[in-house]
Structure 1
Amino acid sequence: MNLTYTGLELRRVARDLVSMFFIAVLPAFFYVIFGASMSYGSEPVGNGNAALYVMIAMAAYGAVTATTGVGGMAAVERMQGWGRQLGLTPMSDGQYVVIKGVVALVISAVPITLIYILGFFTGAEGSGAAWFLSAVVVVAGAAVFSLYGLLAGLLFRTEAAVGAASGSLVVLAFLGNIFFPLSGTMLTIATFTPLYGYVALARYPLTGGEVVSTTGEAAAVQPLWMPAVNLVVWGIVFALLCTWLVRRGRGRQ
């Protein structure tokens, strides 16, 4: 891996203050507003409290915003001629992919670290396993959404499209049971949306699969395989669509 190019890429992304605001500052703000500052933050949820429940979701939201942006820009750069420039260097396509993956991982760690630190100092409580395992799932699962960003870049081939893909995560977050607990028909719909499985898996070490409800209904317990299948299926869908678009693009050349 080319450490010099990796460092340049990290500095380039970090200098984009608007993107870093939406990646790190906004999710942290959401956590403070919807988690730490609310009276229900101390209410018990699983082996912790509601503040930790919200904290995990906001960290996941920030992480996928980061990986979607990096994945999308990688596609746009290649199609706008940057790939030909890199072809003049010793860097291979494989190295380019690895570098972009490392950049996405490092950038996604920024909101996760910030929000977990905020949670620690603002009353988020849970078992050690819930803190550690949720962070692992948030980091690992966010990689799937680099494919979502890549798909947007391949499909529309503009930086605006990548921004739109990142912006669409807000809608997917509402539909995915991230910003507030859904119930009834809306919860049923949520289980089929891309972000639901990812965040439900991240929360699983805290909730043990218990579905949080604000309607006073008896809490249902969701088996682990349901969010896992959701995440895997959407990952496959994104990967297949990206592969098809790459092959179609080559066929036109």
Structure 2
Amino acid sequence: MNYLIKLEITRTLRNKKFMFFSVIYPSALFLMIAGPQGNDLVPGTGLRMGAFYMVAMASFGALTAVLLGNSEKIAKEREKGWVRQLRLTSLPGRGYVLAKIASAAVVTLPSILIVFVVAALAKDVRFAAWQWAALTGVIWAGSLCFAALGVAIGYLATGETVRPIAMITYFGLSILGGLWMPTTAYPQWLQDISSWLPTHAYAALGQAVELGAAPHTKDVTLLVAYFLLFAGAAAWFYRKDTLKT
């Protein structure tokens, strides 16, 4: 299993297109969205634009790495027969899934850190040392929820349908969850829906740390519940796929 994890990490780092959209793209979006209003307050959050969008785009970058990366790789490898070949070896099924999550996690951390560096240098975002460490930890750990979702989509979709399914899920969760704009700008009915989405809870973890507080119990509970749901779905789809072969 260790060899497969090293192989997956190497393949991920060599994929220049994936690395661009996972690592560079979120930082570029941060600069465009935060704009010259980096010091303006975001209504209803208590955060300035620079700080708000730093967490939002760091979360968005992590989401890109674990959701899009896992779903498309797994679906295409199933189609090419690579997953079936691995099943003929002594590698347990969980080993393949863990290798995918590990390779995505390698890209997730740089994408988070680069957004932080850009925010500090370009928008003068400042926090205490413990807050920077806590922000890195909660955003990185929270991405596991979406890694499980990526695995589930990868086993649900085919090589032809995985991209549209993953992209609709990816952009839908990002926009509705408030990663691209504050949910306070949405109608009240949409805010009510957004408050129960995993991406909203995900961004709220970092926002709470920025305000000097611990993440809210509701947000942590929601993410754990979604993780269990997505992981359970991934396991079910994996077993279903195994029976087909």
Distance 1:187 1:87, change over 3 A: closer
Distance 1:2 1:240, change over 3 A: closer
Matching residue within 195, 199, 203 for 2:199: 195
> Considering only aligned residues, what root-mean-square deviation do their CA atoms show, in Å?
2.8
- Work out whether residues 58 and 178 of structure 1, in 8 Å CA contact, stay in contact via their aligned partners in 2: yes
Equivalence map 1:58-69=2 (5 Å) = 58-69=57-68
Displacement, 1:74? 3.1
Q: Deviations over 1:104-124 (max 9, x none)?
A: 110111211211111221211
Aligned residue pairs: how many? 238
- Work out whether residues 149 and 162 of structure 1, in 8 Å CA contact, stay in contact via their aligned partners in 2: no
Partner residue, 2:102: 102
- Work out whether residues 148 and 227 of structure 2, in 8 Å CA contact, stay in contact via their aligned partners in 1: yes
- Work out whether residues 209 and 215 of structure 2, in 8 Å CA contact, stay in contact via their aligned partners in 1: no
Partner residue, 1:234: 226
Partner residue, 2:145: 144
Distance 1:141 1:162, change over 3 A: farther
The percentage of aligned residue pairs carrying the same residue is 26
Displacement, 1:167? 5.2
Equivalent-residue separation in structure 2 for 1:236 and 1:27 (angstroms): 27
SS of 1:143 mapped into structure 2: helix
Question: What amino acid sits opposite 1:117 in the alignment?
Answer: V
Q: Using structure 2 for the length normalisation, give the TM-score.
A: 0.83
Distance 1:98 1:243, change over 3 A: closer
- Comparing 240-249 and 130-139, the one that deviates more: 240-249
Partner residue, 2:173: 172
Q: Using structure 1 for the length normalisation, give the TM-score.
A: 0.81
Partner residue, 1:214: none
Distance 1:243 1:60, change over 3 A: same
Partner residue, 1:119: 119
Name structure 2 gaps, 5 residues minimum. none
Displacement, 1:92? 4.3
